Amino acid sequence: MSFEIRFANGIEPNLCSKLIGGLHFTPHPKSHYTENVEGTRLDDPTDAHRQEEFAAGFNSEILLITKHMNSGYLWDFWLADHPRYGRVIFKVFYRPEYPCRIPHLYEYIPSKKLFDELVKEENFYLRQLSTLQGNLVPKYYGMYTSGKKDRYLAMLLEYAGQSLGSRYIELNREYTEKIYDAYERLHLHGVMQFDIDGRQNLIDEEGRVRLVGFRRAESVNLRSPKGVDRIIGEAWCIRRRFGGRQDMNFRPTGLPDRYWNHLADSAGYKAKMEEKERLRLWHSPAMRAYNEKLGIVYDENGFVISEHGLPPDVMRVGGEEAPPECHNT
């Protein structure tokens, strides 16, 4: 249904999205989101007469804006009260002056590609993430437009908690494990987020981790070794991002077997991973001579057996290049 924007007392309008009170938003004609209201499907949002009624304010509900949450590369994020959905996040941008319109910026999006951003995110919510809505990811309530030629574009999502933010924070073990579990669920649905950052991680009122931010998300084939390689690479990035020193030495074989159980030869895949991990502990004679001065002990074949008394499964030996997924955060 359509809605009209109103601001709660003391809340300033505008910001990057030029949002003002009195604007009417209607379901976007190209949105695939539908819902049932008292057992009846919503009117077809492509109907021209219905659109005229919406624009005139008929049958509009009030979306009460209560707080500005954040401004990002494209969107302004507002906390709002919806008469049927309750607390929601209203994400909106003003098309003539959207923030990431400057070429050569990392987040630059050409004007003609703007709508693709919304379509991709909506498709993930309605397809790959449909069974996770309301639990791992917020409920999705549709794509909206206001003004001629989509002057404003917006989405409504369930309010799902406070973001961890992009700043450096230290999490206790309980919450790092919750983050790992959340991403495991996402990965086992065949989805890579591909944008690992604390701002995409929410903590709701029940202490659950919820995930948002799927503009770069990709589907992966869990029956393909290459697909499994990719989600394992993202699991590695997540531990580096949130686990700190305690998880810096993450090894792929430490993940649950569920990550590769869909493969036809899951045992063979794990054996190859174990062999790769073993080979990473082999060093050349020149490197061994240097490392032995630092307290690293080798066996007769040149494999590391301990570092300062620590066995290979808990020590850190040398460096390892991050997988490609880590370079896209």
Asked if 207 and 140 touch (Cβ cutoff 8 Å), the reply is no
Question: By three-state DSSP, how is residue 101 classified?
Answer: coil
- Residue 317 — pLDDT band, cuts 50, 70, 90? very low
Burial zone of 38 (CB within 10 Å; 0-12 exposed, 13-18 middle, 19+ buried)? exposed
Asked if the domains at 3-160 and 163-273 fall in one CATH topology, the answer is: no
Task: Supply the pTM of this predicted model.
Answer: 0.79
CA distance 325 to 235: 10
3-160 maps to which CATH number?
3.30.200.20
Q: Treating both helix axes as pointing N-terminal to C-terminal, what angle do 173-187 and 225-242 enclose, rounded to 10 degrees? A: 160
Q: CA-based Rg of the chain, rounded to a whole angstrom?
A: 24
Q: CA-based angle 157:159:164, to the nearest 5? A: 110
Burial zone of 178 (CB within 10 Å; 0-12 exposed, 13-18 middle, 19+ buried)? middle
Q: What is the mean pLDDT of residues 21-28?
A: 94
CA distance 266 to 168: 37
Higher-confidence position of 205 and 304: 205
Question: By three-state DSSP, how is residue 66 classified?
Answer: strand
CA distance 324 to 327: 5
Domain borders along the chain are 3-160, 163-273
Topology of domain 163-273 in CATH is Transferase(Phosphotransferase); domain 1 (1.10.510)
pLDDT digits (tens, 9 = 90+) for 238-274: 888 887 656 656 778 888 899 999 999 999 999 999 8
Higher-confidence position of 37 and 168: 168
- Residue 57 — pLDDT band, cuts 50, 70, 90? very low
Best CA proximity match to 315, nearest among 300, 301, 329, 294: 294
pLDDT digits (tens, 9 = 90+) for 199-225: 899 999 899 999 999 988 999 999 999
